[in-house]
Amino acid sequence: MALRPDLRDAAMRWIADDPDPVTRQELQRVLAGAMVGTAGAAEELADRMSGPLRFGTAGLRGPVRAGPSGMNVAVVRRATAGLAAWLARDGARGTMPDGVQGTVPDGVQGTVPDGMRGTVVVGRDARHGSEAFAAAAAEVLAGAGFHALMLSEPQPTPLLAYAVRNVGAVAGVQITASHNPPADNGYKVYLADGAQLAPPSDAEIEARSRPRRPPSPCRPRTRPAGPRSPSPTWTASPSSRAGRPGA
């Protein structure tokens, strides 16, 4: 399989946007192999770029690897940005009882501070990559104005669902792939009632996870032929001096 220009360009854009140097270099090696004609490299690159991962059974699941069709920090960040945007659409805000203990990125514990949108509990299992993915999710949520409450150790998924209800959170994220093969990982979303994410909410979050396309270039407008209208006359006054061109 020959390397298509559109596949090459898509891989280069993903590499440029990948915040993780490990997966960035991983995809660079695959792309370099495809560019010099290494056997199977173009096929592997096409497989990695065949994503994005789609929401199903309450979240995402896929092999831990670089590219949009794998589980990696870049994919987790995009998914969490979509979740944060979806939660914020209604000004999602929960309550957290005083005395609740947890590891929070900004060190905040207790009642949700003024200006924050609510608590989102973030948990993880012991799979490869889970700790980094949980930290990435918490960082995005905190940056979006949510109180990210991280469970300090790997925990079973039911504990995450319980914690969401127990602390009055607006949602929960568990980094786990459940019964998937050991090389996989995943991202599960739980709502304020402790239930798994279900349609149509999963599709709404997925839509908000997609990067926006840049606007199409605009052509300059041409002035129609004919006499030009006279230039406006500006009258200076003490109260309107700021409105004069050049003022």
As annotated, the active-site residues are: 178
Q: Which amino acid is at 195?
A: A
DSSP annotation of 144 reads T
> Can you read off the two tokens belonging to residue 201?
């909410």
Report H helices in the chain: 5-17, 21-35, 41-48, 73-88, 130-143, 157-166, 201-209
What DSSP assignment string belongs to 167-195? TT-SEEEEE--TTS-TTEEEEEEEETTSP
- Would you say 27 and 15 are in contact if contact means Cβ atoms under 8 Å apart? yes
First-to-final CA distance of the chain: 63
- Sequence-distant (≥ 6) Cβ neighbours of residue 67 within 8 angstroms: 11, 14, 23, 27, 48, 49, 51
